[in-house]
Amino acid sequence: MLCLVTDRRRAAPGELTLAAQQRALMALIAEAADAGVDLIQIREPDLDARDLCTVVCAAVAVTRGSSSRVVVNDRADVALAAGADGVHLRSSGPPVERVRALGPSGWLIGRSAHSPSELVAAATADYVVFGTVFTTPSKPGIVPQGVSALEAAVQPGGPPVLAIGGITADLARDCAAVGAAGVAGISLFLRSAPDGLGPSAAVRMLRAAFNVD
């Protein structure tokens, strides 16, 4: 399972207006969807509900007809209003089942986790994003947990675990080797990032790393 986490400012370096940032972000999402990314996690925490809903509606429209599913960070109300496929909860967010009950049948609920106790709270989620696994510029000052912690997070019978934080081609293979179901990331999908590959190349590389056609 591959997840593109959005950051419109990084997708549109130098652009100052929301409209320009949104255009660049939708181009990125469209390419990722065409390449077969599984999840688009809309994570734009500074936007108010109205602007966030505009972005999510655009992402839903761009991905329509593809296999990609759109989830919204934290905001179940925006996800419902925009017709998104579900919600991604922070580790400190409300219980999974409470949020699941708000949406239609089949609503996708993911959750972030950074520790064993947070993994317990995520046990009924459809997927878990675990990290930060490796050093990443998007989380300066955060001590990475490493592959051993990721391996411990993968529980038999538990939800699929996606690694996040500093993922590169080589490190993706390390994540696959310890049982991760996939990865989530920002930089890897951006051509403008130092280690970025762009959506199409990133999806090809990650599929190969996880031996998924």
Q: Which domain holds residue 117?
A: 2-209
Summarised one tens digit per residue, pLDDT across range 23-61 is: 999 999 999 999 999 999 999 999 999 999 999 999 999
- Decide if 191 contacts 204 (C-beta within 8 A): no
The pTM assigned to this predicted structure is 0.94
Summarised one tens digit per residue, pLDDT across range 74-128 is: 999 999 999 999 999 999 999 999 999 999 999 999 999 998 789 988 999 999 9
Number of domains in the chain: 1
Which CATH number belongs to the domain containing residue 183 in this structure? Answer: 3.20.20.70
Per-residue pLDDT band for 212 (boundaries 50, 70, 90) equals low
